[in-house]
Amino acid sequence: MKKLFLFLLPFLLLSCGEPTPVVPQVSKNIESAVFGAPSSKVQLTIFADYECPACIYFEKTIGEELYEKYVKTNKISITYKNFPLTQHQNAEHDALAALYALSQGKYWEFSLEMYNLEDQKKGDRVTDEERVALGKKIGLDSVEMQKSLDEGWYLNQIAKEKREGEAMGLVGTPSIYLNGNIMKFKSKEEFFGMIEAALKM
């Protein structure tokens, strides 16, 4: 009996030890970022480019309020899609970084940081080191994020989102679609008026 116990001892010690931590796997196959109430009668789709001055202006004057008042309260649903313009040197890697953040459940937080950085840069080059620093600030894994940028994990998703924008007739950024129809507005008040009218229909 003593011999049997000694034989089983290593197994028992191993079995009673601390469980091996499970390392979360990052999916390289992701969909577009969606927030809010999927069943809402108001479905917005926003195509944007982080380096685009008009997109930065939209986010600062309308986007943040839209998210706080209508998305977080589940009044509407928003799908965010990346449409990096070829004339913007930073846009594609900005989008890659944002999609990595999406894979970690931090898309909205990262987008705020990315728009703020691009606003400061005014078209100057943004490095991957700066993008990774933004990610670290909101709790993302720096090494893994850098790897995702180096290897272009989400280039296929960006290409897919661009094709979707082109199919919808997109000609510039930002382009905002309300239930599939392009929104044309001249002020913040007009924009929110259109949202409210759609909610009441």
**pLDDT score of 86 more than 90:** yes
* φ/ψ (deg, to 5) at 79: -110, 125
For helices 155-167 and 91-103, give the axis angle rounded to 10 degrees: 110
Rounded (10°) CA dihedral 68, 168, 158, 139 = 0
pLDDT of residue 171: 80
- With contact defined as beta carbons under 8 Å apart, do 199 and 76 qualify? yes
What pLDDT does residue 73 have?
Answer: 95
| More confidently predicted of 154 and 1 | 154
Q: CA 15, CA 71: separation in Å to the nearest integer?
A: 46
Does domain 31-200 fall into CATH 3.40.30.10?
yes
Share of the chain above pLDDT 70, in %: 87
The pLDDT-based confidence of 6 (bands split at 50, 70, 90) is: very low
Domain locations in the chain as residue ranges? 31-200
Q: Dihedral sign for Cα 174, 175, 179, 183, please.
A: positive
Q: Which two tokens stand for residue 103?
A: 């894979």
Q: What is the pLDDT of residue 55?
A: 97
- Token pair, residue 4, equals 């049997």
Is the pLDDT confidence value at 200 over 50? yes
Read off the pLDDT of residues 9-41 as tens digits, 9 standing for 90 and up.
333 333 333 333 333 445 677 899 999 998 899
CB 177 within 8 A of CB 44: yes
Q: What is the mean pLDDT of the chain?
A: 88
Look at 10-19, 114-123, 130-139 and tell me which has the smallest mean pLDDT: 10-19
Statement: residue 67 has pLDDT above 70: yes
What does the pLDDT average to over 130-140? Answer: 98
Give the separation between CA 96 and CA 199, rounded to whole angstroms: 33
Residue 186, token pair as written in the block: 């001249």
Helix residue ranges per DSSP H, 87-185: 91-103, 107-121, 128-137, 142-151, 155-167
Looking at residue 92, its pLDDT comes to 98
Q: Which residues are paired to 80 by β-bridges?
A: 33, 46
pLDDT at residue 26, rounded to an integer: 59
What confidence score (pLDDT) does residue 29 get? 77
Kind and range of the H or E element at 77?
strand 77-82
Contact 146, 109 (CB under 8 A): no
Tell me what the mean pLDDT of segment 77-81 comes to.
Answer: 97
